[in-house]
């Protein structure tokens, strides 16, 4: 599978605001985006280090369902998001290794597919594809 880079790392939290309050000053990097993402049933915060805190807000939403299915919903659980040039090809390769798709979504030009962590040592893997280098711009347009 061709991977361009580790794009960002998700950390699952119960309260995004408290996580931002602690980690912003600790890392010396403000979180420049804190938003509700109705498409995934979550509230997210991003910072320039590509750290993303995710708080599930809807027990029936994609984020909560994916975490429940993978058994990885506990505060501090992580997901590594890999930027790929061809999400269909990369998804097929993951599935060919027996790694199950949990959820997928598209926000603007950003496409993401999350996979079950059962065969990836408890670490959830997400593939993302978007044009250019700025995930925030891709998600907005």
Tell me the pLDDT tens digit for each residue of 46-88. 999 999 999 999 988 878 877 776 665 677 778 899 999 999 9
Give the chain's domain count. Answer: 1
Q: Which domain holds residue 80?
A: 5-140
**For position 111, which CATH number holds?**
3.10.180.10
The CA–CA distances, whole Å, from 10 to 60, 92, 96, 97 equal 20, 23, 25, 23
Report in angstroms the alpha-carbon separations of 129 from 21, 70, 107, 111: 30, 22, 11, 5
- Say yes or no to pLDDT of 39 above 80: yes
pTM over 0.85: no
């Amino acid at each position: 599978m061709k991977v361009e880079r580790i794009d960002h790392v998700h950390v699952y939290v119960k309260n995004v605001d408290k996580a931002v309050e602690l980690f912003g000053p600790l890392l010396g990097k403000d979180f420049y985006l804190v938003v509700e993402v109705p498409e995934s049933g979550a509230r997210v915060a991003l910072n320039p280090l590509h750290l993303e805190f995710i708080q599930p807000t809807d027990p029936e939403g994609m984020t909560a369902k994916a975490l429940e299915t993978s058994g990885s919903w506990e505060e501090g659980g992580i997901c590594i998001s890999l930027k790929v040039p061809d999400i269909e090809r990369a998804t097929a390769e993951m599935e060919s290794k027996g790694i199950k798709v949990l959820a997928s979504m598209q926000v603007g030009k950003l496409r993401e597919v999350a996979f079950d962590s059962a065969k990836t040592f408890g670490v959830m893997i997400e593939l993302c594809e978007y044009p250019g280098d700025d995930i925030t711009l891709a998600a907005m347009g």
